[in-house]
């Protein structure tokens, strides 16, 4: 565990750039212990310096915690990942991840293009445990606390072996961030019966049931089980996970707007809202997607956290806090250790023949 964290920030990423990201750094610095963290801000020098000077008026110690690293250019939010890898060298996003690769920073945070960030992180940091691609995980508020859901957009199509990889990584993430010693785990499906779903999700179910992955696997869960908090970790492909996440975020904003309209529709409603303002504020915060903003790419040889592109300063500060929590954990080593267990022959495998888990390792190495 490092005595003083260094967090590398893509100051130009997202919809708002330094105007939101630098105040977010100031918010994060306020809630972290004094002298426990330092920030590398990558971006257009004069623009980042101007935002830093403005933020330092309210948080004087901020200037002493930040080092501005000038970069050349910004990766557009609609840029193709292949273009980002070819032309991204020297941009704020590239340099933020490069600082982690070089050992200058313990984690990187960006609100930029998701596909570009994944591609650059994969190129610079490489994958752990023979994996092919990282998985993006989201913290999901539930009636029981928080559920970790992955993948939420990095891998659109996933076979059974990749879903098992996600299960292993999701359990490690939940232990590290939410301090659950043995997280419960479920596969998202269209029903809980074993015959439901397509072949890949049924295949993942068989692998998780039949082989000793040391996971508390509970079987299939359905969409309404996410908000109910039926299990601690829910595994799915990136297409389904991203649609579910964006739907939940839209519904949360809809409910907040409708609640606000209802409580300001008349004198009696406003009086009731005044009486219940503390409870209503707590409810509003629970429904705010920014309160759990930030999703790390799991499986990399390093920590990279993706913030929502439209996050405000509070939301981006939460992504920074998540990066700090992960940097203080042993998650990268734990994930690599658990993934490499797949290479061990399974009990009952024929002599000289690989066990079922070896197929995953061979696929990833091909």
**pLDDT computed for residue 7 by the predictor:** 96
**pLDDT computed for residue 280 by the predictor:** 63
Please check whether residues 146 and 35 belong to one and the same domain: no
d(C-alpha 340, C-alpha 307), whole Å:
29
Give Rg (Cα) of the chain. 21
**pLDDT computed for residue 363 by the predictor:** 35
Nearest to 235, CA basis, from 183, 306, 182: 183
Please check whether residues 317 and 265 belong to one and the same domain: no
**pLDDT computed for residue 345 by the predictor:** 41
Please check whether residues 242 and 322 belong to one and the same domain: no
Please check whether residues 114 and 147 belong to one and the same domain: no
**pLDDT computed for residue 366 by the predictor:** 33
Which residues constitute the domain of residue 190? Answer: 130-294+330-345+352-366
Please check whether residues 82 and 171 belong to one and the same domain: no
Please check whether residues 209 and 334 belong to one and the same domain: yes
Please check whether residues 313 and 212 belong to one and the same domain: no
How many domains are contained in the chain? 2
Please check whether residues 247 and 315 belong to one and the same domain: no
Residue spans of beta strands (DSSP E) within 211-274:
216-221, 233-235
**pLDDT computed for residue 33 by the predictor:** 80
Please check whether residues 334 and 286 belong to one and the same domain: yes
Is residue 242 exposed (0-12), middle (13-18) or buried (19+ Cβ within 10 Å)?
buried
Q: Could you tell me the mean pLDDT of each successive run of 10 residues in the chain, 366 residues long? A: 83 92 92 86 93 86 90 89 86 96 96 92 87 86 87 88 91 88 93 88 91 86 90 94 86 77 78 72 61 84 92 91 89 77 49 37 35
CATH number, domain of 63, equals 3.40.718.10
């Amino acid at each position: 565990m490092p005595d003083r964290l260094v967090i590398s920030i893509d100051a130009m990423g997202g919809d708002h750039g330094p105007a939101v990201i630098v105040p977010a750094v100031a918010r994060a610095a306020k809630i972290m212990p004094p002298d426990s963290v330092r920030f590398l801000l990558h971006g257009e020098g004069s623009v980042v310096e101007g935002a830093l000077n403005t933020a330092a008026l309210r948080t004087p110690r901020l200037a002493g915690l930040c080092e501005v690293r000038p970069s050349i250019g910004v990766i557009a939010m609609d840029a193709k990942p292949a273009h980002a890898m070819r032309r991204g060298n020297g941009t704020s996003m590239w340099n933020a991840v490069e600082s982690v690769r070089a050992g200058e920073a313990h984690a990187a945070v960006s609100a930029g293009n998701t596909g570009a960030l994944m591609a650059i992180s994969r190129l610079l940091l490489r994958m752990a445990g023979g994996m092919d691609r990282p998985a993006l995980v989201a913290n999901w508020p539930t009636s029981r606390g928080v559920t970790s859901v992955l993948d939420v957009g990095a891998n659109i199509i996933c076979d059974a072996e990749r879903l098992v990889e996600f299960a292993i990584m999701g359990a490690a993430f939940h232990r590290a961030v939410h301090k659950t010693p043995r997280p419960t785990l479920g596969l998202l499906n269209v029903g809980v019966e074993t015959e439901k779903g397509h072949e890949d999700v049924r295949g993942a179910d068989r692998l998780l049931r039949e082989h000793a992955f040391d996971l508390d696997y509970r079987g299939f869960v359905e969409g309404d089980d996410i908000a109910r908090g039926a299990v601690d970790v829910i595994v799915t492909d990136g297409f389904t996970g991203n649609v579910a996440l964006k739907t939940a975020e839209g519904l949360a904003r809809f409910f907040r707007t409708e609640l606000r309209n209802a409580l300001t529709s008349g004198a009696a409603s406003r009086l009731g809202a005044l009486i219940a303002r503390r409870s209503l504020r707590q409810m509003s915060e629970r429904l705010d997607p920014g309160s759990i903003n930030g999703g790390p790419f799991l499986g990399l040889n390093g920590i990279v956290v993706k913030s929502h592109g439209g996050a405000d300063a509070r939301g981006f500060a939460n992504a920074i806090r998540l990066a700090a929590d992960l940097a203080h954990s042993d998650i990268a080593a734990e994930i690599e250790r658990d993934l490499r267990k797949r290479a061990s022959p399974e009990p009952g495998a024929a002599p000289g023949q690989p066990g079922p888990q070896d197929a995953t390792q061979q696929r990833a190495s091909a």
